[in-house]
Amino acid sequence: MTNALLFKEWKKTKWFVIGAFIVGAALLTYIFLRLGRSFRMVGMEHLWDVVINRDQFLLRELKYFPLAAGIAIAFSQFVPEVIQKRIKLSLHLPLSNKRVVFTMMGYGLSVLSLVYLLHILAILIFMGVHFPLEFIISALYTLAPWYVAGLMAYVLLAWICLEPSWKRRIFNALIMFGVLQLCFLSDFPGAYAFILFAVILLPIYILPFGYRSVERFKIGIQD
Amino acid sequence: MKSINYLIILLGTLLLAWLLPKSYHLITDTASKNIFTYYSSVDKAFCTIEFDKKEERLIRKNIKTNKVYNEHEFDSILPLFYSTQMFADGRMPDSIDGVEMKPREINSRKFFYRMNPMNKNKPHIPLYTLFESMSKRVRIEMPGDFFRLDSEIEFINPETNEVNQEKSLRFNTVFQKRGFQFPARQVAGNPSTRKAYDEGYFIIDNANQIFHLKMVNNMPFLRSVPLPKDVEPAYLMTTEPDDRSFYAFVYDSNRKLHIITTDQYKLQEIPTPAYDIDKDQLLIMANPLYWNINVVNSEAKTVLAIRSDSKEVVDEVVIKHDKEGENYARFVLPFSVGFTKSNTKFIQPSIFLGSVWVLLLNAILAGGFVLLMKKRKQKVQIIPLAWICLTGIYGFIASTIFNR
Amino acid sequence: MQPIVECKNLTHYYGNRCIYENLNFEIPQGRILGLLGKNGTGKTTTINILNGYLKPRSGECLMFGESSAKLSPATKQKVGLLIEGHVQYSFMNISEIEKFYSAFYPKWKKEAYYELMKLLKIDPKQQISRMSCGQKSQVALGLILAQDPELLILDDFSMGLDPGYRMLFVDYLSEYAKAENKTVFVTSHIIQDMERLIDDCLIMDYGKIVTQKPIEELLNTFKRFKFKSQSSGLLNDLQEIYHPVSIKENTEAYSFMTKNEMEVLLNKNNIQHGRITEESLSLEEAFIGLTGKY
């Protein structure tokens, strides 16, 4: 039954997942090509100098990619569920509502994480070849909040979609806006070093919100 | 599942406690004015330049006598600060306090040194550029490698991303011989090719010893800096001043500031007003006769004038910041949460508490919440109520919205 | 035997607007109950309460003895649901959606679904979103037939359907329900189709239940009376008479009374009248008689 549910989610999100992957790959290709050009034009030593001594971050263009991917996948997955109240069908499946909701969200988070992981893996390989471990650690500290933002955007957008009342949706959107800000407080490389752990826990904290809105749907709340 | 609701209310409350005060500050914040203060070697008193809002012009005056000067007169009151102008006008006296006024001499002993807590509290990649200090060239050149000081010193070639074993070994041997304790706690240098000369790095090792590292003719140079017993270094700032009279500032664990002089690395204490390197700003404006030591904290700017040679204090002035009108927000907002601060580049959560009186408002809001619940025909629950008593306006807004 | 569906003392309001108070009904095994009402009288509200998508202000619904607000997966398996507008996962195609649902229902009857699909002459790779409303209704119906549930809940199945498809739907459904002894709860605002389908009816008007009877009993007892009368205005005050209409002196009145009872009533109230003719009604006419033309 879970497999069938996952098939349904895949069916809805397929092109968006593939799209997110392709856009991510294209973005990375562009960044790597541009960096390769810098290697040749100004030399590696200068590039290292700029990163170490001038606090430049080489992967700045990646900033909003995870966010966009999270938003796209959440939309593609949950908008078809809520238009025409199709969620009624999903909630009527012979599974507990909790299982239905969390399987759906688990699917989304998994494919999103998969796209992110492949993305990060490519970054790690590229950086591992050209840069020392210190760079990689700093880059991970800098990138992590952006990827966390993507996961949170997904979870919160799912919450907003599943919410039956438009008025409440607006408040949910305000919360989403505030929470996402937490991931974009600073562009300075490594600025999140001290609280990265807390930031990584945030998506877990907000995960059950969507289920709350399903419960609200179940008691018939609407505008 | 009421508990999810509480999670939402908790998050909403914290976001409000962050964003509400932030938008309040966006509306009300004004720049606190900074009054330029400099010790006059002529008047032997502090002089200031301050913008007068009423007259809409800069007022230059001696704050001891309150005598106001025009711009031209002021040059000659602070001849060392305006030395270039004074020499250009031919107005520079031959000597002040028996010190001969020669342009080159003055220029080399005049320096500005600014230390912002943000310089210290920022993430950085622990790799460093070690220049050739005795380069045959006029300009300092990039050395072609970077070093790390972890369990040993390693030089890495950026072109290949590989460790230069030979050079690393050469340096490591010296580190071992000098008794350096890895890993380094702090490595302080100025990795820039745009400086007059290079003194490499001053390093605090794992045993709180200070070492001076540089590369001379491609060979390692590592000296231990002898420290007085009571000095435990907390932070180093390598300076490389023009007159080469000292190498670096040492801020110790007793919040005292020292310089490492070029006279056999002897430490000399620099008197400062109470100075916390993690919070206050330090600005040193030095000339051949006096150093002006400015420390700006949240309440005031304190300036010491000390003699350049003996470092003995000759004068002190405290300029309190203007009190920015009463902060009424303290009585409305029970607390505020922040993530960025002006003294650090790191994101760190912090909380600021408001006035105790805000509890009164909290109680009123809690009462309002009870009425609201009655009007909505909802049961009054104790948890949201307690939460509003604690978090006031934030909890009230969040509970009103999300506790239906 | 325990009824399949049991609704007790349902009361619901939207804000201050009363949908109904103290609605009670039950559907025994093998019966087909039609919930009839004009648009906005609370048909979907009732269906939503029944499916656990709405919490009534008071009262409760039981399905197979379980509260409809929290049905166990095992009970949900026994309930086939047709959502208003024949909404389905329209991002799937005919064969995908069949495979999808088959995973959830152990008694899945693939043939029942494909038999119906064959009639549609649609390519199995065709996405549901690109089908006509009638075709979609057949897909939704096919899925319910394949699910082979014990209880079918159909919300306004006639909406948006051409007469042909409506008839097809009704024929298929009634034959299936009768043959398999299924219990059905169905709502519609098009009454014509229902006569051939339902056993019992529950007729709603704004804010109240008008009547609740087996269809046979309703049609046997609820009649239209025609007579000529000059003082037909007085009819409006009589409880026993539903929605009297007079055009000039030709008067029409609906009632559960017999012709004799009617005559007695009119005489008692001094309503002059000519000869009374009694007419039997179709379900649709009875519905209009009970709820009025407006």
> How far is the alpha carbon of A141 from chain B, nearest alpha carbon, in Å?
10
Q: Match 């050079």 to its residue by tokens.
A: B167
User: What's the whole-number mean pLDDT along residues B207-216?
Assistant: 96
Q: pLDDT category, B239, cuts 50, 70, 90? A: very high
Q: List, for residues C229-246, the tens digit of each pLDDT value.
A: 877 777 888 888 888 888
Asked whether at least 3 C-beta pairs link C and A within 8 Å, the reply is yes
Q: Quick one: pLDDT at residue B371?
A: 93
Please, which chains are in contact with B (at least 3 CB pairs closer than 8 A)? A
Q: Which of B198, B197, B204 is nearest to B227 (CA)?
A: B204
* H or E element in which residue C49 lies: helix C43-51
Q: Quick one: pLDDT at residue C200?
A: 92
Q: pLDDT category, C191, cuts 50, 70, 90? A: confident
Tell me the residues of A at the B interface, defined by beta carbons under 8 Å apart: 43-49, 51-53, 55, 129-132, 134-135, 138, 141, 168, 171, 175, 178-179, 181-182, 185-186, 188-195, 198, 205-206, 208-209, 211-212, 215
Q: Quick one: pLDDT at residue B31?
A: 65
Q: List, for residues B146-195, the tens digit of each pLDDT value.
A: 999 999 999 999 999 999 999 999 999 999 999 999 999 999 999 999 99
CB contact under 8 A, A94 and C73: yes
> How far is the alpha carbon of C125 from chain A, nearest alpha carbon, in Å?
14
Q: Quick one: pLDDT at residue C269?
A: 85
Q: List, for residues B98-115, the tens digit of each pLDDT value.
A: 889 999 989 999 999 999
CB contact under 8 A, B11 and A205: yes
E strand spans, C131-173? 151-154
| Residue B68 β-bridge partners | B61
CB contact under 8 A, B349 and A195: yes
DSSP letters, A54-70, are: S---TTGGGTTHHHHHH
pTM across the whole model: 0.93
Q: Which among B125, B158, B346 has CB closest to A45?
A: B158
Query: And the tokens for B225?
Result: 């800096």
Q: What does the alpha-carbon distance between residue A178 and residue B391 come to, in Å, rounded to a whole number?
A: 18
Provide the H-helix boundaries in chain A.
2-42, 44-53, 65-82, 87-92, 97-130, 133-162, 166-181, 196-206, 209-218
Q: Which among C52, C85, C88 has CB closest to A218?
A: C52
- The residue length of chain C stands at 294
Q: List, for residues C77-116, the tens digit of each pLDDT value.
A: 999 999 888 899 999 999 999 999 999 999 999 998 998 8
- The residue length of chain A stands at 223
Q: Which among C54, C83, C89 has CB closest to A8?
A: C89
Strand order in the sheet with C223-228: C241-247, C250-255, C223-228, C277-279
Do residues B384 and B376 lie in contact, with contact meaning Cβ atoms separated by under 8 Å? no
B-chain residues near A175 (CB < 8 A): 8, 11-12, 15
Q: Which of A145, A143, A144 is nearest to A180 (CA)?
A: A145
C285 conformational bin, left if phi > 0, alpha if psi -120 to 50, beta if neither? alpha
Positive or negative, the CA dihedral C26, C31, C36, C42 is positive
Q: Quick one: pLDDT at residue B326?
A: 61
Q: Which of B369, B357, B359 is nearest to B392 (CA)?
A: B359
User: What's the whole-number mean pLDDT along residues A185-193?
Assistant: 93
Q: pLDDT category, C121, cuts 50, 70, 90? A: confident
Q: What does the alpha-carbon distance between residue B126 and residue A121 come to, in Å, rounded to a whole number?
A: 23
Asked whether at least 3 C-beta pairs link B and C within 8 Å, the reply is no
Q: Quick one: pLDDT at residue C294?
A: 67
Residue B324 pLDDT greater than 70, yes or no: no
Do residues B144 and B161 lie in contact, with contact meaning Cβ atoms separated by under 8 Å? no
Q: Match 């810098």 to its residue by tokens.
A: A38
Query: And the tokens for C257?
Result: 């009374």
Q: List, for residues C21-50, the tens digit of each pLDDT value.
A: 888 888 999 999 999 988 888 888 899 999
Do residues B315 and B46 lie in contact, with contact meaning Cβ atoms separated by under 8 Å? yes
Query: Average pLDDT over chain C, rounded to whole?
Result: 88
The alpha carbon torsion through A61, A62, A67, A71 (nearest 10 deg) reads 90
Query: Average pLDDT over chain B, rounded to whole?
Result: 91
User: What's the whole-number mean pLDDT along residues A1-13?
Assistant: 94
Q: Which among C52, C74, C100 has CB closest to A7?
A: C100
Query: And the tokens for A30?
Result: 């562009």
Q: Which of B154, B118, B85, B167 is nearest to B278 (CA)?
A: B118
Give the 3-state secondary structure of residue C259: helix
Q: List, for residues C204-221, the tens digit of each pLDDT value.
A: 888 788 888 999 999 999
Q: What does the alpha-carbon distance between residue A216 and residue B5 come to, in Å, rounded to a whole number?
A: 11
User: What's the whole-number mean pLDDT along residues C239-255?
Assistant: 85
Q: What does the alpha-carbon distance between residue B186 and residue C60 come to, in Å, rounded to a whole number?
A: 71
CA angle (B346, B352, B356) in 5-degree steps: 175
Q: Quick one: pLDDT at residue C235?
A: 80
A218 and chain C in contact, CB less than 8 A = yes
Q: Quick one: pLDDT at residue A81?
A: 94
| Residue C151 β-bridge partners | C79, C183
Q: What does the alpha-carbon distance between residue B132 and residue B218 come to, in Å, rounded to a whole number?
A: 7
Query: And the tokens for A44?
Result: 């590696």
Q: Quick one: pLDDT at residue B378?
A: 84
- The domain locations on chain A are 2-218
Contacts of B266 (CB under 8 A, 6+ apart): B226, B260
Q: What does the alpha-carbon distance between residue B140 and residue B334 come to, in Å, rounded to a whole number?
A: 55
CB contact under 8 A, A188 and B122: yes
DSSP letters, B334-402, are: SEEEES-BTTBSS---EEEE--TTHHHHHHHHHHHHHHHHHHTT-PPPHHHHHHHHHHHHHHHHHHHHH
Provide the H-helix boundaries in B160-231.
165-177
Q: What does the alpha-carbon distance between residue C103 and residue C100 come to, in Å, rounded to a whole number?
A: 6
Q: Quick one: pLDDT at residue C173?
A: 86
> How far is the alpha carbon of A186 from chain B, nearest alpha carbon, in Å?
7
Residue C188 pLDDT greater than 90, yes or no: no
Q: Quick one: pLDDT at residue C232?
A: 72
Q: pLDDT category, B325, cuts 50, 70, 90? A: low
Residue A88 pLDDT greater than 70, yes or no: yes
Q: Give the highest mean pLDDT range of A23-27, B136-140, C187-191.
A: A23-27
Q: Which among C53, C73, C83 has CB closest to A95?
A: C73
Do residues C254 and C224 lie in contact, with contact meaning Cβ atoms separated by under 8 Å? yes
Q: Which of B60, B124, C261, B77 is nearest to A54 (CA)?
A: B124
A-chain residues near C64 (CB < 8 A): none
CB contact under 8 A, C92 and A218: no
Query: And the tokens for A204?
Result: 């877990």
- Mutation target for A interface from B7, B118, B125, B154: give the one with most A CBs within 10 A: B125
Give the 3-state secondary structure of residue C168: helix
Q: List, for residues C257-288, the tens digit of each pLDDT value.
A: 988 898 888 888 888 888 889 999 999 889 98
CA angle (A80, A82, A85) in 5-degree steps: 115
Do residues B329 and B29 lie in contact, with contact meaning Cβ atoms separated by under 8 Å? no
Amino acid at B391: T
Q: Quick one: pLDDT at residue B32?
A: 66
C-chain residues near A220 (CB < 8 A): 48-49, 53-55
Do residues A90 and A104 lie in contact, with contact meaning Cβ atoms separated by under 8 Å? yes
Give the 3-state secondary structure of residue B287: coil
Positive or negative, the CA dihedral C280, C283, C288, C290 is positive
Do residues C19 and C13 lie in contact, with contact meaning Cβ atoms separated by under 8 Å? yes
- The domain locations on chain B are 2-29+328-402, 35-110+287-323, 116-282
Kindly list the distances between the CA atom of residue B133 and the CA atoms of A52, B158, B281, C122, C234, in Å, as whole numbers in the listed order: 20, 20, 31, 83, 117
Q: Do the strands B57-62 and B45-52 form a parallel or antiparallel pair, or are they unpaired?
A: antiparallel
Q: Quick one: pLDDT at residue B392?
A: 92
Please report, rounded to a whole number, the percentage of residues in chain B having pLDDT higher than 70: 97
Residue A181 pLDDT greater than 90, yes or no: yes
Q: How many interface pairs between A and C have CB atoms less than 8 angstroms apart?
A: 71
Do residues A216 and A164 lie in contact, with contact meaning Cβ atoms separated by under 8 Å? yes
Q: Quick one: pLDDT at residue B330?
A: 76
Contacts of B395 (CB under 8 A, 6+ apart): B9, B13, B365, B384, B387, B388
Q: Which among B8, B12, B18 has CB closest to A212?
A: B8
Q: Match 């059905």 to its residue by tokens.
A: C184
Residue C241 half-sphere exposure toward CB, CA atoms < 13 A: 24
Q: List, for residues A132-175, the tens digit of each pLDDT value.
A: 999 999 999 999 999 999 999 999 999 999 999 999 999 999 99
How many other C-beta atoms are found inside a 10 Å radius of the C-beta of residue B363?
13
Cis status of the peptide bond prior to B183, with omega within 30 of 0? yes
DSSP letters, B303-334, are: EEEEETTT--EEEEEEEEPPP-S--THHHH-S
User: What's the whole-number mean pLDDT along residues B36-54?
Assistant: 91
B363 and chain A in contact, CB less than 8 A = no
Per DSSP, chain C holds a count of helices (H) and strands (E) of: 9, 14
How many other C-beta atoms are found inside a 10 Å radius of the C-beta of residue B392?
27
